[in-house]
């Protein structure tokens, strides 16, 4: 592997990421999957980096999953997205930040459509006006939330208390970075580092002391391809995708997987349990799985946030081996307590995957 | 009194035109920006279709030049000014040369394979180009992987940077298909026990002996040709290359590992040629190659009196076709010079 070659490509795919005053649009599924990630993003941005992040509770799904599943027509999707832009415009902001990769890809798809077909933009403005009486401006800057964390990776590192190194040996932790397909595969120039060798997560890992693994199935889908997962009869394909990735990364002995998409951490985490039950296989050390983190969770760990405040207890693959390597203290007795201190109960242990 | 012709480029076209013009009694100044004349031919080991050493052809071309032509290496034009019926070529060294005609024989660049990011050239150690393989063969050293081992499986990817809308090159580079077949055979000659695969869109074996060579590759050397584009390459732990391919004849995706992957890179226009063309007001096509006045009968004319074009600066050509083209250009220049007072 010639890293200089990758660096040259990374230089070709730089993108502008706004510095402040973000209008944040949340994912419609992440809060069910890894509920604390979006909260961690807001905490990091507002409390640590002192940035202004605006939200509007009236904002909705971008309709991306419905659109990609062919149940929502494109005109409807464009009008829904136009409405999100109207909320941003009404709040006096111009920098849009999406939590979801599918949304990020779809916002870019819609903006590119409007750029090349101004008549379509005019039509959608009409739809929105008729349906809601609203108007909107095109955002000046569209970024994914991982772009924003990437932009401030050095600042996070400077105030961070933990590093991606084994706290006893000083060994850089080995990280598999997995990029959501809709981040840059459709529009390479919209992603940090392009489509083939994206840099957005690599930059974070390197800045925070870790070492990225480049394994053969790095580019492969996590298994959350909508048509594979949403259609029950196709769900085996979803599992096969994830399995292909695990088999490919296993020989490199990754310490954890880092993701930037709502679906990827879900599937790379949960399917490890499923595969262990179906085939008796595990991919981590000593019968454990490979921990999977979102970039907000990782940034939170670097900043010294309590793992249970980051929601790491809802991961199917336990993250404690990673916390131990990083030398992060955690209170086992608090793992299954709710925010109000109420005991939520312990889940049943899987039959193969080592959980407790 | 003999007229002076400045030929820009000392490759196959430049050398050929120079010797023909000398045959016709014209005075020629041949400018070559590299330290030696010969162009890409200097770097090629053997030539299709008969695997004749490239050095032989280069030797023959140099022989015909003899001492009749003034050759300046490490020299190229900075500015070219048009006068009434002559030109002043200002060299980068500052020297000014007055001439009666200019022949653009600037040749081509090879496509920069790094632009096809999915293939990993410049990132994966065992992804090389056809030019790299040619250098390896020319050096006489064994064909090896980056670790110095004999590859047991070698893949060739056709049309890298050619017929590729994404790369901005819709044209066919004409020579890569047959180069791929030639190099595949050469791998088998060097490493008889190896498995060799060619991944192609379609194989354009258009010239004499090409099809026979393609048959020989399959029948005698058992080279496997698979129709389909390689979608991506990745590196294994042992630095072998994993390929993902769509086999379009069986309509199935395919995944395989090779020890060495050769990218058959096509032709692209030189930025320097575009710069000079703009100076001279010569038309440039959408494919960035130089336009000629008429594709059928006046292909060496640029439409600017006294400025001619020959060889691959006006599009991909084989060596044989380049030689024929440059010979014709010399004759047309000679006829043009006769019209000058």
Domain assignment of residue B60, given as a range: 4-108+269-338
pLDDT at A160: 98
A209: its two tokens: 């002391």
**Residue A252 touches partner B, C-beta closer than 8 Å:** yes
Q: How far is the CA of B266 from the CAs of A336, A352, B121, B127, B179, in angstroms?
A: 61, 53, 15, 16, 10
CB contact under 8 A, A196 and B232: yes
Pair (B216, B330) in one structural domain: no
Contacts of A196 in chain B (CB under 8 A): 117-118, 120, 232
3-class DSSP string for chain B: CCCEEEEECCCHHHHHHHHHHHHCCCEEEEEECCCCCCHHHHHCCEECCCCEEHHHHHHHHHHHHCCCCEEEECCCEEEEEECCCCEEEEECCCCEEEECEEEECCCCEECCHHHCHHHCCCCCCCEEEHHHHHHHHHHCCCCCCCCCCCCCEEEEEEEECCCECCCCECCCCCCHHHHHHHHHHHHHHHCCCCEEEEEECCCCCCCCCHHHHHHHHHHCCCCEEEECCEEEEEECCCCCEEEEEEECCCCEEEEEEECEEEEEECEECCHHHHHHHHHHCCCECCCCCECCCECCCECCECCCCCEEECHHHHCCCCHHHHHHHHHHHHHHHHHHHHHCC
Cβ pair B234:A194 closer than 8 A: no
| Residue position matching structure tokens 């000079």 | B276
Query: A14 pLDDT exceeds 80?
Result: yes
CA closest to B121 among chain A residues: A5
* Contact in structure between A318 and A252 (CB atoms under 8 Å): no
Number of domains forming the structure of chain B:
2
Q: How confident is the model at residue A106 (pLDDT cuts 50, 70, 90)?
A: very high
Mean pLDDT of chain A: 96
* Residue after which a domain boundary falls, among B242, B266, B290: B266
pTM of the model: 0.92
pLDDT at A32 over 90: no
CB contact under 8 A, B114 and A5: yes
Task: Provide the chain B residues 101-140 that lie in CB contact (below 8 A) with chain A.
Answer: 114, 117-118, 120-125
* Beta-carbon separation of A252 and B237 below 8 A: yes
User: Cβ neighbours of residue A287 under 8 Å, at least 6 residues apart?
Assistant: A352, A353, A354
What are A33-48's pLDDT values in tens digits?
888 999 999 999 999 9
Report the chain A residue with the minimal C-alpha distance to residue B241. A216
Contact A197 B125 (CB under 8 A): no
Measuring CA to CA, which residue among A282, A277, A269 is closest to residue A311? A269
B134 shares a domain with B276: no
Same domain, B240 and B299: no
Q: Among all chains, which residue has been given the structure tokens 């955690």? A: A330
Q: Are residues B195 and B243 in the same domain?
A: yes
| The pLDDT value given to residue B2 | 75
Which of B120, B145, B166, B242 to probe by mutation at the A interface, max A CB count within 10 Å? B120
Strand, helix or coil at A257? Answer: strand
| Distance in Å, alpha carbon of A215 to nearest chain B alpha carbon | 7
B133 & B204 share domain: yes
User: Of B117, B118, B253, which to mutate for an interface test with A (greatest number of A Cβ within 10 Å)?
Assistant: B117
- Min Cα distance B240 → chain A (Å) is 10
Domain holding B183: CATH number?
3.50.50.60
A3: helix, coil or strand? Answer: helix
Do A1 and B124 count as a contact with CB atoms less than 8 A apart?
yes
Question: Binning pLDDT at 50, 70 and 90, where does residue A340 land?
Answer: confident
| Residue A241, pLDDT score | 95
- Positions of chain B with pLDDT lower than 70, given as ranges: 1
Position B257 scores a pLDDT of 98
Q: Are A222 and A248 in contact (CB under 8 A)?
A: no
* Structural domain ending residue among the three candidates B266, B282, B314: B266
Q: Does A251 touch chain B (CB under 8 A)?
A: yes
Query: Of B132, B241, B131, B226, whose CA–CA distance to B175 is shortest?
Result: B131
Both tokens of A19, joined, read 């510095």
pLDDT band with cut points at 50, 70 and 90 for residue A227? confident
A1, A3, A4, A5, best to mutate vs chain B, most B CBs in 10 Å: A5
pLDDT digit string, tens, across residues A266-298: 999 999 999 999 999 999 999 999 999 999 999
List, by residue range, all CATH 1.20.1050.140 domains of chain A: 15-145
Shared-domain flag, residues B53 and B104: yes
Cβ neighbours of A341 (radius 10 Å):
7
- Chain B residue with minimal CA distance to A213? B237
Distance from CA of B94 to the nearest CA of A (A): 35
A6–chain B Cβ distance below 8 A for any pair: yes
Q: Does B234 touch chain A (CB under 8 A)?
A: yes
> Average pLDDT of A192-218?
96
Cα(B50)–Cα(A179) distance, integer angstroms: 49
Nearest residue in B to A218, CA atom: B234
In the numeric block, the tokens 């809060």 are attached to A31
CB within 8 Å: A1 and B117: no
Contact A220, A199 (CB under 8 A): no
Q: Which residue has the tokens 């196959």?
A: B12
Question: Measuring CA to CA, which residue among A264, A262, A261, A272 is closest to residue A319?
Answer: A272
CB contact under 8 A, B125 and A2: yes
One-character DSSP codes across A123-168: HHHHHHHHHHS------SEEEEHHHHHHHTHHHHHHH-S--SB-TT
Mind telling me how many Å the CA of A25 is from chain B's nearest CA? 32
Confidence band for A223, pLDDT divided at 50, 70 and 90: very high
By C-alpha distance, the chain B residue nearest A2 is B123
pLDDT per residue as tens digits for the range B12-22: 999 999 999 99
Choose among B299, B315, B307: nearest CA to B108.
Answer: B315
Q: Single out the residue of A334, A323, A329 nearest to residue A298, CA to CA.
A: A323
Q: Is B334 left (phi over 0), alpha (psi -120 to 50) or beta?
A: alpha
Q: How far, CA to CA in Å, does A90 sit from each of A85, B1, B84?
A: 8, 81, 66
A15-145: which CATH architecture? Up-down Bundle (1.20)
Query: Confidence class of residue A176 from pLDDT cuts 50, 70 and 90?
Result: very high
Question: Is some CB atom of chain A closer than 8 A to the CB atom of B60?
Answer: no
Alpha-carbon gap, residue A220 to A324, rounded angstroms: 29
Length of chain A: 356
Encode pLDDT of B122-150 as tens digits: 999 999 999 999 999 999 999 999 999 99
- Hey, is the C-beta of A10 within 8 angstroms of any chain B C-beta? no
Q: List, in sequence order, every residue forming a beta bridge with B298; answer none if it has no partner.
A: B294
**Given CB atoms, is B236 within the 8 Å cutoff of chain A?**
yes
Average pLDDT over residues A24-40: 92
B293 interfaces chain A, CB cutoff of 8 Å? no
CATH code, residues A147-334: 3.40.50.11810
Distance of alpha carbon B267 from alpha carbon A216, whole angstroms: 30
Give me the pLDDT at residue B1, please: 64
SS3 state at A353: coil
Q: What is the DSSP letter of A31?
A: H
**pLDDT of A76 higher than 80:** yes
Give the best residue of B234, B237, B241 to mutate against chain A (max A CB count within 10 A): B234
Mutate: best of A2, A202, A245, partner B, most B CBs <10 A: A2
> Which chain A residues are closer than 8 Å to B121 by Cβ?
5
Check: CB of residue B128 under 8 Å from CB of residue B265. no
A293 three-class SS:
strand
Where among B266, B293, B312 does a domain terminate? B266
CA distance A321 to B142: 48
Q: How confident is the model at residue A355 (pLDDT cuts 50, 70, 90)?
A: confident
- How far is it, in rounded angstroms, from Cα B91 to Cα B75? 7
Take residue A354 and report the two structure tokens written for it. 């080592």
What number of CA atoms fall less than 13 Å from residue B134's CA on the CB side?
Answer: 23
Phi and psi angles of residue B103, each rounded to the nearest 5 degrees, phi first: -110, 120
- Say if residue A216 is exposed, middle or buried (CB neighbours under 10 Å; 0-12, 13-18, 19+): buried
Instruction: Say how far apart CA B333 and CA B308 lie, in whole Å.
Output: 7
User: How near does any CA of chain B get to the CA of A3, in Å?
Assistant: 6
3-state secondary structure of A222: coil
Between CA A201 and CA A260 the distance in angstroms is 8
Contacts of A252 (CB under 8 A, 6+ apart): A174, A176, A213, A215, B237
Chain B residues whose CB is inside 8 A of the A7 CB are none
Q: What is the Rg, in whole angstroms, of the alpha carbon atoms belonging to chain B?
A: 22
Question: Which of A86-100, A222-236, B68-82 shows the lowest mean pLDDT across its residues?
Answer: A222-236
Q: Is the ipTM of this complex over 0.85?
A: yes
pLDDT band at A230 (very low <50, low <70, confident <90, very high): confident
């Amino acid at each position: 592997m010639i890293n200089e070659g990758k660096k040259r490509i990374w230089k070709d795919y730089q993108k502008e990421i706004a510095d402040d005053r973000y209008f944040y649009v949340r994912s419609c599924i992440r809060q069910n999957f890894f509920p604390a990630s979006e909260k961690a993003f807001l905490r990091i941005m507002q409390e640590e980096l002192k940035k202004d992040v605006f939200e509007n509770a009236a904002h909705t799904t971008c309709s991306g999953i419905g659109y990609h599943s062919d149940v929502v027509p494109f005109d409807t999707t464009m009008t829904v997205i136009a409405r999100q832009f109207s909320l941003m415009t009404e709040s006096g902001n111009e920098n849009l930040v999406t939590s979801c990769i599918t949304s990020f890809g779809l916002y870019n798809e819609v903006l590119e459509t409007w750029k090349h077909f101004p008549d379509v933009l005019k039509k959608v403005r009409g739809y929105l006006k008729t349906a809601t009486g609203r108007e909107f401006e095109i955002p000046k800057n569209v970024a994914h939330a991982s772009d924003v964390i990437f932009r401030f990776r050095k600042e996070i590192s400077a105030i961070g208390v933990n590093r991606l190194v084994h706290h006893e040996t000083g060994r850089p932790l080995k990280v598999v970075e997995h990029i959501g397909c809709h981040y840059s595969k459709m529009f390479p120039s919209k992603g940090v580092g392009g489509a083939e060798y994206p840099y957005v997560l690599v930059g974070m890992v390197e800045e925070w002391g870790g070492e990225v693994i480049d394994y053969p199935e790095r580019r492969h889908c996590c298994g959350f391809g909508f048509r594979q997962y949403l259609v029950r009869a196709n769900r085996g394909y979803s599992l096969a995708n994830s399995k292909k990735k695990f088999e490919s990364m296993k020989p490199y002995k990754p310490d954890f997987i880092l993701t930037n998409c709502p679906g990827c951490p879900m599937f790379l985490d949960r399917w490890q349990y499923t595969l262990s039950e179906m085939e008796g296989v595990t991919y981590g050390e000593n019968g454990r799985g490979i921990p999977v983190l979102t970039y907000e969770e990782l940034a939170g760990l670097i900043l010294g946030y309590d793992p249970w405040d980051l929601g790491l207890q809802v991961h199917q693959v336990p993250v404690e081996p990673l916390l131990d390597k990083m030398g992060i203290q955690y209170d086992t007795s608090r793992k299954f307590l709710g925010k109000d201190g109420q005991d939520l109960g312990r889940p049943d242990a899987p039959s193969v995957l080592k959980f407790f | 009194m003999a007229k002076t012709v400045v030929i820009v480029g000392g490759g196959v076209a430049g050398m050929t035109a120079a010797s023909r013009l000398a045959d016709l009694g014209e005075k020629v100044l041949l400018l070559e920006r590299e330290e030696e004349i010969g162009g890409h031919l200097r770097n090629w080991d053997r030539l299709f279709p008969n695997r004749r050493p490239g050095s032989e052809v280069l030797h023959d071309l140099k022989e015909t030049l003899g001492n009749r032509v003034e050759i300046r290496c490490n020299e190229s034009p900075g500015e070219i000014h048009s006068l009434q019926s002559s030109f002043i070529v200002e060299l980068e060294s500052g020297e000014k040369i007055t001439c009666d005609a200019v022949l653009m024989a600037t040749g081509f660049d090879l496509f920069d394979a790094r632009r096809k990011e999915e293939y990993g050239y410049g990132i994966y150690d065992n992804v090389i180009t056809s030019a790299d393989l040619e250098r390896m063969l020319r050096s006489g050293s064994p064909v090896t992987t980056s670790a110095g081992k004999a590859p047991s499986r070698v893949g060739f990817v056709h049309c890298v940077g050619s017929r590729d809308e994404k790369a901005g090159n819709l044209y066919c580079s004409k020579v890569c298909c047959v180069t791929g077949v030639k190099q595949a055979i050469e791998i088998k000659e060097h490493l008889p026990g190896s498995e060799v695969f060619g991944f192609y869109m379609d194989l354009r074996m258009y010239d004499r002996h090409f099809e026979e060579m393609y048959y020989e590759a399959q029948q005698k050397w058992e080279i496997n040709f698979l129709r389909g584009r390689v979608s991506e390459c990745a590196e294994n732990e042992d630095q072998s290359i994993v390929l993902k391919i769509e086999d379009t004849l069986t309509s199935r995706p395919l995944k395989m590992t090779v020890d060495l992957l050769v990218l058959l890179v096509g032709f692209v226009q030189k930025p320097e040629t575009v710069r000079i063309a703009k100076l001279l007001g010569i038309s440039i096509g959408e494919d960035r190659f130089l336009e000629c006045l008429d594709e059928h009968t006046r292909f060496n004319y640029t439409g600017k009196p006294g400025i001619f074009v020959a060889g691959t600066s006006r599009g991909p050509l084989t060596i044989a076709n380049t030689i024929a083209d440059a010979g014709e250009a010399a004759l047309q220049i000679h006829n043009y010079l006769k019209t000058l007072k």
